[in-house]
Structure 1
Amino acid sequence: MAKLSIHDEPVDNTAIARPPGQKAQMTQEMAAEIKTASKPKSLGKNLPQLWFGRTPWLIVGRHAQGTFTECRITNAAAQFADWERRNQADLRMLVAVLGQLREAVKSNGGKHCVAICEKKLFPPVIEVFQSTTAKMAVPDNLRGKIWDAEAGGHPKGSTH
């Protein structure tokens, strides 16, 4: 941390100020992934994460030995359609695997399951086992906020 340096420039914080007690609200179109790098990397390295998170902006700060020399802001959303088109086969396989996992949980009486991917086998194999613990991966209160049981288990607001 001692090696980090920041170029001091006056910042106008009035654009982000809000009345006291008011919750901050941000639209998805304003979301950004922030990364640091010492070497240049192509947008393609980050595009899968940005696509899945529907995060339209990528901000990369480049540094040399702890001193930031450049900040690049990229509108990654402009690349989403092309990335999705190029990766259709893989995305369809992912949808199929998720569907099979969902069916495995249903056939287990809706009880907790664990999926394990054995990458050392070729092709890799995913096996589903009944969990030995009742702990959920996503807490009930969060699941209730984002998951819509009436929509067949799809996230609230999704178009399936």
Structure 2
Amino acid sequence: MIRKEGKGVPIKSTLEIKTRTVYKPIDVQEVLPQLWVSQAPKIVRAYHKQGLFAVARVEDVALDIKRWGENHQADLKKLATLIKKIISVVKENGGKGVVKYHIDQGDKLAIWQSDGKKLLPDDLYSKLDSKKPKESELEPVM
């Protein structure tokens, strides 16, 4: 039995909070890739000095996120292709896997079979399985 609780939150009502020491400012360009993934249109850059935070303000970065996505379409398509390939390999090997990036071994990505327990509820796996990509959407991996 699945019990639904709470309510959805519109994406425009979400924000990302980034904290750092006052001596090391946070450049929005540095965090735009993460903001693009989360699609949170606002950011709070909160700075502290010896653990004491100054008053932070909310900044609207929706336009910056949109521009970043537009300027990185080729990279995002490669990422989508890689994610589809990882999903395919994991499904072909029992549906459980661990992905590890080896920068020290020649910049390699390894996928290991996992015997661990499922990380998501069964109903979510069935939703993911129903969204299989069309053959035309698949491209060769880099």
In structure 2, the partner of 1:121 is 105
In structure 1, the partner of 2:69 is 84
1:28-47 correspondence runs (5 A): 28-37=11-20, 38=22, 39-47=24-32
Q: 1:74 to 1:111 in 2, by over 3 A?
A: same
In structure 1, the partner of 2:120 is 139
Of 33, 36, 49 in structure 1, the residue corresponding to residue 34 of structure 2 is: 49
Unaligned runs of 5+ in 2: 134-142
Residue pair 1:33, 1:59 contacting (<8 A) in 2 also: yes
CA deviation after TM superposition for structure 1 residue 23, in Å? 4.5
* Partner secondary structure for residue 114 of structure 1: strand
Residue pair 2:15, 2:41 contacting (<8 A) in 1 also: yes
In structure 2, the partner of 1:26 is 9
Q: CA RMSD in A?
A: 2.6
In structure 1, the partner of 2:48 is 63
In structure 2, the partner of 1:18 is none
CA deviation after TM superposition for structure 1 residue 144, in Å? 5.4
Unaligned runs of 5+ in 1: 1-21, 154-160
Of 50, 57, 75 in structure 2, the residue corresponding to residue 72 of structure 1 is: 57
Tell me which protein shows more helix as a share of its residues: 2
Which range moved further: 70-79 or 51-60? 70-79
Q: Alignment identity in percent? A: 25
- In the superposition, the TM-score normalised over structure 1's length comes to 0.65
In structure 1, the partner of 2:86 is 101
Q: 1:120 to 1:114 in 2, by over 3 A?
A: same
Cα deviations by residue, 1:41-84 (Å, 9 ceiling, x for unpaired): 21112211111011111012223333333413111212112111
* Partner secondary structure for residue 60 of structure 1: strand
**Rg larger for:** 1
Higher normalized contact order (CA 8 Å, seq sep 6+, divided by chain length) = 2
Q: Which amino acid aligns with 1:151?
A: K
CA deviation after TM superposition for structure 1 residue 25, in Å? 5.2
Q: 1:143 and 1:71 mapped to 2: Cα distance?
A: 37
Q: Which amino acid aligns with 1:152?
A: K
